[in-house]
Amino acid sequence: MKISSQDSISCTPELRETISNIVRRAVTECVFQVRAASPAAIEPLELFHSTEAVAIKEEIVRVGRKLWDRQYVDGNGGNISYRISSQYVLCTPTLCSKGDLRVEDISLVDLNNNLIVGSRPQTSEIKLHFSIYKSVPKAKAVVHCHPPYATAHAVAGVVPPLNLIPEQEVFVGPVALSPYETPGTQVFADTILPYAKKHNTILLGNHGIVCRADTVTHAEWYTEVVDTYCKTVMIARQLKSNLPEIPADKIQDLLELKKTLGLPDARLPEEDDLTGAIETAAASVAKALPHVHPNDVDSLVSSITDEVLSLFAR
């Protein structure tokens, strides 16, 4: 949506919700960045044992168990991480079954791959996670695993088709396919760089998949969505080779919904004028309030949304 200084917009519930979602993303990200960069930032050991970190470690363990139960990992395969600050990442250890994962197994590393706190060495594929965090500042969580149907597509070098199931279109959308490189190397980690910004899910050639999201749980959800989609498409093609697609105008409806959720999609522009203007305004306010308490975010979002709407109504 492009808006000039002479345009005015009627305030509808849909518009308010759209603006509110954009504002919330900007405020949350800016408050997080300002707090993380503060000179009084929490020390690594204190951060590692903080209430926030404990909750995230418990979430990582739960997600690891889900991956194991759904047979998305075997042996010691797969890895999970969460960027808890601008400098530090919580991650699973190397050589550990995700079905056996415990809270005490989680480590804290910095973005230079130094083990800061923890009794077990970090996953050997953490560089893949770092590549995503460094290229997509909004990414907070990464899950890498080997779900069979999505991995089959990665091995075959076949990207699943589009426009067949609404959930795939909204939560994942187009899936990228990166070329094979030796896992654990920087060259392997760099293979996702051309795709990470516009895709939350990437097929790793002859390897598996990687998903990024705002939470560990959401990243795991995307693995479920894409693997179920790949399985369903494979079965449907046995029934009929040319599958009927969702009509183009209905796909556009799904993309509009996707924009309100703040999810990436290669079919969407990187940033439209409205989103950019709102995020810039929200960022300015949030950066001026480094001590915003998480409980105050709702009132701040509502206040900024009102201000944005009043500007458009003039």
- Interval 174-209: pLDDT, tens: 999 999 999 999 999 999 999 999 999 999 999 999
> Which of 175-192 are b and which e, b meaning 16 or more Cβ less than 10 Å from the residue's Cβ?
bbbbeebebeeeebbebb
Q: Which pLDDT belongs to residue 292? A: 56
Residue 259 CB contacts under 8 Å (≥ 6 apart), including other chains: 18, 268, 275
Q: Which pLDDT belongs to residue 17? A: 75
Q: Which pLDDT belongs to residue 22? A: 78
Query: What are the strands of the beta sheet with 201-204, ordered from one edge?
Result: 115-117, 107-110, 88-91, 79-83, 141-145, 208-213, 201-204, 176-178
**Residue 78 · residue 91 · CB < 8 Å:** no
- The single residue listed with the structure tokens 């990243």 is 219
Taking 50 as the pLDDT cut, the residues of the chain under it are 1-6, 39-40, 272-273
Give the tokens for residue 6: 């002479």
Mean pLDDT across the chain? 87
Say how far apart CA 156 and CA 204 lie, in whole Å. 11
Give the tokens for residue 259: 């924009």
Q: Is the dihedral of CA 264, 205, 178, 62 positive or negative?
A: positive
Say how far apart CA 289 and CA 283 lie, in whole Å. 10
Query: CA 249: distance to chain centroid?
Result: 27
The residues annotated with a catalytic role in the active site are 125
CA distance between the termini of the chain: 18
The residue among 263, 270, 272 whose CA lies nearest residue 169 is 263
Q: Which pLDDT belongs to residue 302? A: 82
Q: Which pLDDT belongs to residue 147? A: 98
Give the tokens for residue 108: 């804290």
**What number of other Cβ atoms are within 10 A of residue 148's Cβ?**
14
Q: Which pLDDT belongs to residue 5? A: 41
Say how far apart CA 278 and CA 236 lie, in whole Å. 42
HSE, CB side, 13 Å, CA atoms: give it for residue 262: 19
250-272 pLDDT tens trace: 999 999 999 999 999 999 987 54
- Domains in the chain, ordered, with CATH? 13-38+248-312 (no CATH), 44-239 (3.40.225.10)
Q: Which pLDDT belongs to residue 29? A: 62
Q: Which pLDDT belongs to residue 299? A: 78
What is the SS3 assignment for 220? helix
290-301 pLDDT tens trace: 555 555 667 777
Give the amino acid at 210. V
The residue among 262, 234, 92 whose CA lies nearest residue 164 is 234
Q: Which pLDDT belongs to residue 311? A: 64
